[in-house]
Structure 1
Amino acid sequence: MTAVLTACSGGTTPAPGGGGNVTGGDKPAVAAPAIKVSPAEGAQKVRPDKNVVVTAAGGALDEVTVQSQGQPVEGEFDATRTKWTSSKPLKPSTTYTVSAKATGAGGPAALTSEFTTLKPKRELQVIDITPGIKGETVGVGMPIMVTFNNDVTNKAAVEAALHVEAEKKATGAWRWISDRLVIYRTAKYWQAHQKVVFTADLAGVRGAGDMWGTKSFRQTIKIGAAQISKVDTRTHQMVVRVDGKVKQRMPISAGKGDTREYTTTSGVHLTMSKHNPEIMISPGKKEGDPGYYKEIVNHAVRISNSGEYVHSAPWSVGSQGRANVSHGCINAGPTQAKWYYDNFQRGDVVDIVGTDRELEWNNGWGFWQMSFAKWKKGSALEA
């Protein structure tokens, strides 16, 4: 590949034998602007996070175009228009063409060159975005959970490429749970009835030593009604509000609390999944052990990873609204439990009070148990 430079000069060529001296009324020749591009013409294996820089000496840049297959690269001129710098990462394994024009006292100049970015040994990809079920509507407590295919060591660069845009303004932050999982949570619940767009602009982002993003990912999330349930294990009542209005008052029975295992956790839970029926088996026990149980329950909505659900319990109707007799779940009558199951959205809020066992922030989706000030300390950009 050969860089092509064209220039026009209004100067006069000196007479032969004149040693370059200007005589009489002749004016010295003025050179056209000198345009320089980095990466250089024909460069190979260019790092995608390397800026494209175009400069002009002896004039100002009129225009700069950097593109691949018709897709332009964004960039900005400096105040004097003698320098142009790209503003976003390049794509790996891609050939780019740079075209620049400048004008100075010596006339116009133009330059065209090409270079190629490196091919990564490993690709960084998003393998799961939750929520991500097609057509799903989620609750106002819903986090955004992003899982990568490989361990991310350059967390700040990757996190900077993650963007969340809500129709109704919200403050939020990412928290790295592991080298492959990062979660976005708002400071307050999402405002109801809106769309949120998550974008991972990973193309050209270096996730680790030999690992680069090669493409971007996008997910539109629909936030539905604000369905917030308040459960008081002392009064044995569950009140469900939808957009602030009471929709159900449900007599319930919570964990009997004679052991920690059978004590319902207090705190802000989120609904995670639903099952009809669900088979519940006592954890860590086998058939014949004291306290062993195996029950088939209907209309079960999971609210933690430690085995807590809101579910139908026709066998406990006599205790619902009066006493706590469950193994830790929130039991309700068949009709109201079915209503809750049918109207459930993942990410709905279930706020439970009245017990001495606190929900851990990492038990299921218990992320609201952590203050937002502490939550955002898990960000690679906030720390």
Structure 2
Amino acid sequence: MKIPHLTAVAALVLAAGCSASEAGTNGRDGTGAPEATVRISASGDRVRPDQGVTVTVSGGTLTSVSGVPGGFNADRTSWKTTWTLKPGASYTVTATARNPKGKVTAVTRTFRTSRAARTLGIASVTPAAGAKVGVGMPIIVDFTGPVANRANVEKALEVRAAKGDEGVWSWVSDRRVVYRTHTYWHPHQAIGFTAHLAGVRAAKDTYGVRDVRRSFTIGASNITVANAKTHYMTVNHDGTVKKFKISAGKGDRPDTITTNGIHLTREKERVTTMRATCQGQPGCDDYTEQVHLAVRITWGGEYVHQSVNQYYYLGRQNASHGCVRTTPEGARYFFDISQLGDIVDVTGTTRRFADEPYADDWKFWTVSWNRWLAGSALH
């Protein structure tokens, strides 16, 4: 989404007026038509970077503007920068216009933007540059400081999907914003993300100072439904559907019920050690066991993994400590195709994933679209 970020430039245009250099020659050009008059809003050495530049013309149409990226209005009587300007930087803008008789007027203006008293940057972007991820993968942006003017920053965040998928940013905190599509991404496409942060006013006297760009790829469509009532999971891999026996959380205590809802795969390990320390809780057994072909789906410790023996329960009964256990064949298949951000929808349990207390769990698909929109500063 590409949304110009300019405010209050009209006042600057009026204040700038029309200097002799802007107007060109104030007389006529010999054809009976006055020359076009060009005005450039920015001047001097203290231009606010978040207000950008506006170019207008009277008595003609604009033919070109160079120096910074921008766009014309429908009748080419005005032009404005697409994004904000870098703080503490020098710019030269040249604008040309033509009057109705074809006479060309050119105006050049050099100016400098104000420096930022305080700066805002991006601490991290997930997924990493060049990653191949699943169709449920969000874009998670963490900032180096709190963002007070969320709308200003959100306007500067651009996402381009090769297949035209669209989504919305939603603020999780004053330092984190997350982009989620309305429906899952189309598989096998390139995604480009640009934070046009340079010059964005994020808070009083606080500006972004540089843009950040990332690109990544949506890989195969892996959508798994694990049903704790039927004791089977169905794996849809780019339209190829396979079904495997499972055993979910046994539910003898609330923390052994597998969480219900749409999860995202986080990481995978060929062998991982799982431990539980009950600290005297009744009905709880301490255990330490090595688990093979483990794909994490919650930060609280739930995985899809190969059953540690106890194959009898698969397809029959829930007997795990909260994970989704499956057959060696099912675990191998699921492990091999898994990538960051795949969908694992657990159904048939009473413990809601959305209610879990772990702050870093990716619960973004447990939120309705209307609630997601409510977290945007622009919707």
Normalised by the shorter chain, which TM-score bucket?
Answer: 0.7 to 0.9
Give distance in 2, aligned partners of 1:175 and 1:361: 19
Give distance in 1, aligned partners of 2:214 and 2:367: 26
The Cα of 1:37 is off from its aligned counterpart by 3.6
Query: 2:309 is paired with a residue of what secondary structure?
Result: helix
Q: Look up the match of 2:161.
A: 166
Larger % of helix: which?
Answer: 2
Q: Does 1:372 align with 2:369?
A: yes
Q: Look up the match of 2:45.
A: 44
TM-score by length of 1: 0.81
Question: Relative to structure 1, is the Cα distance of residues 284 and 169 closer, same or farther in structure 2, using a 3 angstrom cutoff?
Answer: farther
Cα deviation code 1:80-139 (max 9, x no counterpart): 84x55444322222111233456779x8765433210012133322222211153x3221
Q: Look up the match of 2:126.
A: 130
Give distance in 1, aligned partners of 2:218 and 2:174: 28
Question: Relative to structure 1, is the Cα distance of residues 38 and 137 closer, same or farther in structure 2, using a 3 angstrom cutoff?
Answer: closer
Q: Does 1:217 align with 2:212?
A: yes
Cα deviation code 1:271-303 (max 9, x no counterpart): 111123222222674899953222222211111
Deviates more, 1:259-268 or 1:112-121: 112-121
Give distance in 1, aligned partners of 2:355 and 2:153: 24
Q: Are the equivalent residues in 2 in contact too, given 1:78–1:84 (CA < 8 A)?
A: no
Give distance in 2, aligned partners of 1:56 and 1:235: 70
Q: Does 1:265 align with 2:284?
A: no
Mapping of 1:200-279 within 5 angstroms? Answer: 200-247=195-242, 249-279=243-273
- RMSD (CA atoms): 3.3
Query: 1:346 is paired with a residue of what secondary structure?
Result: coil
Q: Which amino acid aligns with 1:38?
A: S
Q: Are the equivalent residues in 2 in contact too, given 1:253–1:316 (CA < 8 A)?
A: no
Question: Relative to structure 1, is the Cα distance of residues 3 and 120 closer, same or farther in structure 2, using a 3 angstrom cutoff?
Answer: farther
Picking from 82, 87, 96, the partner of 1:92 is 87
Query: 1:360 is paired with a residue of what secondary structure?
Result: helix
Q: Are the equivalent residues in 2 in contact too, given 1:7–1:110 (CA < 8 A)?
A: no
Give distance in 2, aligned partners of 1:343 and 1:55: 56
Mapping of 1:45-124 within 5 angstroms? Answer: 45-55=46-56, 59-60=59-60, 63=63, 65-67=65-67, 72-76=68-72, 79=75, 81=77, 84-101=79-96, 110-124=106-120
Q: Are the equivalent residues in 2 in contact too, given 1:265–1:359 (CA < 8 A)?
A: yes
Q: Which amino acid aligns with 2:140?
A: M
Cα deviation code 1:240-298 (max 9, x no counterpart): 12122223x22221111011101111111111111232222226748999532222222
Q: Which amino acid aligns with 2:197?
A: L
- Larger Rg, first or second structure (1 or 2): 1
Give distance in 2, aligned partners of 1:184 and 1:115: 35
Give distance in 2, aligned partners of 1:54 and 1:370: 43
Q: Which amino acid aligns with 2:249?
A: G
Identical residues among aligned pairs (%): 39
TM-score by length of 2: 0.82
The Cα of 1:341 is off from its aligned counterpart by 1.4
Q: Which amino acid aligns with 2:69?
A: V
Q: Look up the match of 1:143.
A: 138
Give distance in 1, aligned partners of 2:376 and 2:115: 29
Question: Relative to structure 1, is the Cα distance of residues 78 and 270 closer, same or farther in structure 2, using a 3 angstrom cutoff?
Answer: closer
Deviates more, 1:325-334 or 1:314-323: 314-323
Q: Look up the match of 2:349.
A: 355
Q: Are the equivalent residues in 1 in contact too, given 2:62–2:76 (CA < 8 A)?
A: no
Query: 2:51 is paired with a residue of what secondary structure?
Result: coil
Q: Which runs of no fewer than 5 residues in structure 1 stay unpaired?
A: 12-29
Q: Does 1:152 align with 2:147?
A: yes
Cα deviation code 1:342-380 (max 9, x no counterpart): 221111111111111111177622221111121111000
Question: Relative to structure 1, is the Cα distance of residues 74 and 158 closer, same or farther in structure 2, using a 3 angstrom cutoff?
Answer: same
Q: Look up the match of 1:326.
A: 320
Q: Which runs of no fewer than 5 residues in structure 2 stay unpaired?
A: 1-18
The Cα of 1:219 is off from its aligned counterpart by 2.1
Give distance in 2, aligned partners of 1:288 and 1:358: 23
Q: Look up the match of 1:7.
A: 25
Question: Relative to structure 1, is the Cα distance of residues 245 and 119 closer, same or farther in structure 2, using a 3 angstrom cutoff?
Answer: same
Q: Look up the match of 2:176.
A: 181
Q: Which amino acid aligns with 1:300?
A: A
Q: Which amino acid aligns with 1:119?
A: R
Give distance in 1, aligned partners of 2:167 and 2:98: 47
The Cα of 1:34 is off from its aligned counterpart by 6.1
Cα deviation code 1:326-350 (max 9, x no counterpart): 1100112334313321221111111
Q: Are the equivalent residues in 1 in contact too, given 2:49–2:113 (CA < 8 A)?
A: yes
Query: 1:350 is paired with a residue of what secondary structure?
Result: strand
Query: 1:315 is paired with a residue of what secondary structure?
Result: coil
Cα deviation code 1:159-192 (max 9, x no counterpart): 1111222222334211100111111111111222
Q: How many residues align?
A: 355
Give distance in 1, aligned partners of 2:207 and 2:323: 45
Question: Relative to structure 1, is the Cα distance of residues 234 and 103 closer, same or farther in structure 2, using a 3 angstrom cutoff?
Answer: closer
